[in-house]
Every structure is written in C-alpha cells, then in structure tokens.
C-alpha cells in the first residue's frame, strides 16, 4: 500500500486537536459514554487506551509490509484484546481492592477494560497505520490517545460534578476520599447513559464550532490578502 508522509508533529497535533477522536471523529463513543460517569474511571480508562493504542499501532506499523486492510484490522483487534487481558490480570493481581465489585466506591474497570479491545479508535487507527510511515503513525497514536484522554477527563469532570456535586477518588487499598464542590442541588440523571450522550454532543458541538470559526477566519484572511 502506498504511504503518505505528514510529519510527526503535524500528525500529533492532528490527532490531539484538529481530528480529536471523540469530539471530531466520534471514535470510541462507547467508552466516552460508559467511562465518564466518574472522573477517576475516565482518567484510568483514558490512560489504558493511550498505552494500548500506542503499542497496537507500533506493532501494526512494523508489520505493515505483510498486511492488507483486513489483516491490519484483525491484528489490531487481537493485539488490543491481548493487552486488555494482560491489563485485567495485572489489575486483579496488584489492585484488587480498587476494582472490587462489592465496594461501592471502587472503579468498574473489569467491565470497561474489555471494551478497549473493541473500541473503534484502536481498530481504525490500526487500519490507518498502513497508509503512513512509522513516525507519523506514532505521532498520530500519541496525539489521538492524549486527545481521547483529555476529552474523556473533561466530560467526566463536568458529568460527575453536576451529577453528584463532588469528585470521588479511590486509592489502591480501596479507601476513598471525596472533594465536595457543593451540596444541595444535583442533576443525578446525568449519571445515566442520557448524560453521556448529552455531554458528548454538547462538547463535540462546541469543539466543531471552534474549528469551523477558525477555518472561516483563515479563509477570510486569505481572501483579504
């Protein structure tokens, strides 16, 4: 397959902001809706996705000469499933209280981590890595991963704060601490899937509006020249 070169920094910025996976391309929406009920869950899922995405893209890029489109996607799925399984086993071994399903304040990571292996973000980025050289792919994976993490964290912060009026953190030993922003009124309905869809739509709309405004400003400046 013929490859096109964009450059590491350009690919990084593209993935991070201009083509943000959640807010512009709408990739990984399952995780964006499910993992953003809590700030800490979003943070951990975002970091895990970043690591799994980077490793998957790295390996698929190194094997690009042996792969076609179907092969690259299947390899991405299998690799990400392997990494997700290893992550789950590590969590069970080293942080069992953090993910204990009987602890209300624990994080539902055992339910969410398997979805990283089937998220469209990893599969599509794996598939696209056939079209660009290694440095561009790594830049794009890093940018997209960080962009995904930031989008998740931003949505989760607003969602948890509005839904509960507080942000809860759970330590590895299972103890939890809460930072209360206000007490009184809360929008508990935002912790339902409705809240995920609603906030992703609002944030993506704002992001797209900013991008569009910049684009229009640039075209006006170009025409003035």
Partner 1 sequence: MQFLGVLLSAFFAHSLVLSGYGLRQNVALGAKKTHYRWVLLCLYFVEALILGFAGWGFRALAANNAMWTYLTPLFAVLIMSICLGGFALLTKYCFPEAMRNDLSDSYVEIGLNSSLLALVVVLLSYEAGTDAVMLIGSIICLPLGYLAASYATGAVLDRLSVSNTNGPFRFATMPLLLLSIAGLCLGCWMMTF
Q: From the centroid of its chain, how far is CA 139?
A: 16
Report, in Å, the least distance between residue 207 CB and partner 1. Answer: 9
The strand pairing partners of 179, in sequence order, are: 167
Asked if 39 and 111 touch (Cβ cutoff 8 Å), the reply is no
Binding-site member from 175, 180, 212, 219 for partner 1 (CB under 8 A): 212
For residue 92, state whether it binds partner 1 (rule: CB under 8 A).
yes
Binding-site member from 18, 51, 63, 120 for partner 1 (CB under 8 A): 120
Q: What torsion do the CA atoms of 44, 104, 117, 48 make, to the nearest 10 degrees? A: 10
Asked if 50 and 123 touch (Cβ cutoff 8 Å), the reply is no
Asked if 118 and 79 touch (Cβ cutoff 8 Å), the reply is no
Total binding residues for partner 1 by CB under 8 A? Answer: 45
Nearest to 36 by CA among 171, 210, 202: 202
Binding mask 135-174 toward partner 1 (x if CB under 8 A, else -) reads ----------------------------------------
Nearer to partner 1, 126 or 139 (CB): 126
The secondary structure element, H or E, covering residue 61 is helix 39-62
User: Interface residues with partner 1 (CB under 8 A)?
Assistant: 26-30, 33-34, 69-70, 73-74, 77-78, 81-82, 84-85, 88-89, 92, 111, 114-115, 117-118, 120, 123-124, 127, 189, 192-194, 196-198, 200-202, 204-205, 208-209, 211-212
């Amino acid at each position: 397959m013929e490859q096109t070169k964009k450059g590491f920094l350009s690919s990084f910025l593209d993935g991070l902001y201009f083509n943000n996976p959640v807010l512009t391309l709408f990739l990984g929406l399952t995780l964006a809706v499910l993992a953003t009920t809590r700030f800490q869950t979003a943070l951990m899922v975002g970091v895990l996705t970043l690591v799994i995405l980077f490793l998957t893209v790295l390996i698929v890029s190194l094997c690009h000469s042996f792969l076609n489109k179907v092969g690259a996607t299947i390899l991405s799925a299998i690799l990400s499933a392997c990494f997700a399984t290893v992550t789950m086993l590590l969590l069970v071994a080293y942080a069992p209280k953090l993910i204990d399903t009987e602890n209300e304040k624990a994080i539902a990571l055992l339910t969410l981590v398997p979805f990283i292996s089937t998220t469209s973000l990893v599969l599509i980025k794996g598939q696209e890595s056939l079209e660009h050289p290694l440095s561009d792919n790594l830049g794009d994976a890093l940018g997209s991963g960080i962009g995904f993490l930031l989008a998740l964290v931003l949505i989760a912060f607003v969602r948890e704060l509005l839904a509960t009026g507080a942000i809860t953190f759970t330590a590895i030993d299972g103890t939890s601490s809460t930072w209360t922003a206000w007490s009184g009124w809360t929008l508990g309905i935002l912790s339902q899937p409705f809240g995920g869809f609603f906030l992703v739509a609002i944030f993506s709309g704002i992001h797209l509006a900013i991008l569009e405004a910049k684009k229009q400003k640039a075209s006006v400046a170009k025409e003035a020249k």
